[in-house]
Amino acid sequence: MHYRTLGRTGVQVSSLTLGAMNFGRIGRTTQDEATALVDAALEAGINLIDTADAYSGGESETLVGKAIAGRRDDIVLATKAGLPMGDERNHKGSSRRWLVTELERSLRRLGVDHVDLYQIHRWDPATSDEETLSALTDLQRAGKIRYFGSSTFPAYRIVQAQWAAREHHLSRYVTEQPSYSILQRGIETHVLPVAEEYGLGVLVWSPLASGWLSGAIREGREITTSRSGFMPQRFDTAIPANRAKLDAVEQLAKVADEAGLTMIQLALGFVTAHPAVTSALIGPRTLEHLSSQLAAVDTVLTADVLDAIDSIVAPGVDLAPEEKLDAPPALLDPAVRRRR
């Protein structure tokens, strides 16, 4: 396993992170299975585990907490808040009221007294940066979180939050967690340069593009990945963006074959090759999945292979931008971009 410094924190984290989104009902993962995955990941040298309150309605945090019991100090533990937790209107977002309440609930589910990295799951346009950063700074000073970061923030919001922290003399986000894969390269345009400018650690999610880059999805095969039932629209090849992804996958498979690599090695080797990326989140449901992803730890892509990838999906291009969940509100709601 390789280790990199998480932004400017001095904390060393593994180049692969165990993502726990599939722990619980989303991935149909039991406690025994989750514990086995944590055991194997730690044995392989992974020291960063990432979960969120919203994953299976808190079940993921509970499974992670039980799996790490007795070895908390050896793990860099990350979780998130901000997505809706039920139907109550204030059980979401990044207000002080909600973050203080929900962190306590996350700590109880995880069975710990602090988390190392607390991340705002999505930018909340209803809440000011000062409100959120002030709450996070107080939680940090109380010892309940060591650091905090953002997730899936547009580049201009990352910059704005950095300026707000400076202006109001508050602690700042030290990490960003964006979507990044060979098929979704949009963050290369603004997010990654901004992260480098501000010294942020970058933990990328969906490096296998929801399974498109796992090797299981190919032309002429029935799509049977675990995510096809969870997000069927992302795998309907009648949709032009999915057709474009499948065409790219066929070309990428040839590149991988010629380089003597699996598709997983190609995909993970690509995202971890970027100098701004600290770690890539993997989300295995089974030990077999984990083993195939750990095989990419030592993968170093040559310039020829990286050039071939660039010729298939150009730098800065998203084949399915709507899947990245970072679109500004004005692109999603016409009322926001029309004068009343």
Kindly state the DSSP code that residue 327 receives in the 8-state scheme.
-
Q: What is d(CA 234, CA 322) in angstroms, rounded to the nearest whole number?
A: 10
Cβ neighbors of 1 (< 8 A, separation 6 or more) are 14, 15, 16, 44, 45, 46, 297
Residue 162, SS3 per DSSP: helix
* Integer angstrom CA distances of residue 331 from 106, 136, 239, 325, 335: 32, 29, 20, 11, 10
Within the chain, where are the H helices? 31-43, 59-68, 96-110, 129-141, 155-167, 191-198, 227-230, 240-259, 263-273, 287-294, 303-312, 329-332
Inter-residue contact 158 to 191 (CB < 8 Å): yes
Q: Active-site positions? A: 55
